[in-house]
Copies of this chain bind each other. A is one copy, B any other.
């Protein structure tokens, strides 16, 4: 967690409940400690460990030890354990390779955890995993918390990766052009995430889009398609995480009826969406 304003907001939010934050830097730990003290709150700290992704995280057990010692002595902070996100395994389409890679990452996280415990730093929380490895990392001994989130919505990318979940998130488009065998929907990359996989139509799952432009989705259809100009079309996003932030609200649907509207609050800096 970096950035003065964000740290301040985090420390303030920690007054309302238990708040954990992953840390991999001594100066960052100091900044968090200062902010928690100023806010009169306490932040729980997980040492972030790089388990192979090469993004955030300390890069050796020794660094983890050094940082844990510093965190333990800083007021306003409470050492709770480790976090090691194996994001480099998440996109692996070959499941046996994914199992092998995620297993190796968690074995390494276990090594770090044991080193910390031997020095008196018990890891109550060992947090890891995502939707792509929830059942692999979730079964690894020692792991106490799975960070899987995308399974709630699912999308074509995660659906191919981890079958067995339903699609709960769809985007409603309209047929705005119909010419020859081409259907054009008003749902392009500004409306629906296409990362890693293309969106598909719920009612016509066998068509693959020819192209997703910014404002348009192009489908070349055949005689099986009954859609006509002006019809609405339900789309399963290619990637749900990059779809949600394009909207201000969820429309909650039960049996084809909108039963609630939920605001999407954390869309961007200072944005309160429907709550303004």
Contact = CB atoms under 8 A, between A and B. Distances in A.
Each complex incorporates copies of this chain amounting to 2
A133 interface: no
Contact of A189 (B87, B175, B216, B242): B242
Interface string A182-220: 101010011100010000000000000010011010100
Q: What is the interface residue range for chain A against chain B?
A: 35 or more
A136 B189 CA distance: 27
B248 A56 contact: no
A186 B10 CA distance: 15
Contact of A2 (B58, B186, B191, B242): B186
Interface in A245-259: 245-248
A268 B246 contact: yes
Contacts of A120: none
A3 interface: yes
Interface of A: 1-4, 6, 24-25, 27-28, 31, 50, 54-59, 87, 174-180, 182, 184, 186, 189-191, 195, 210, 213-214, 216, 218, 229-230, 241-242, 245-248, 268, 271, 276
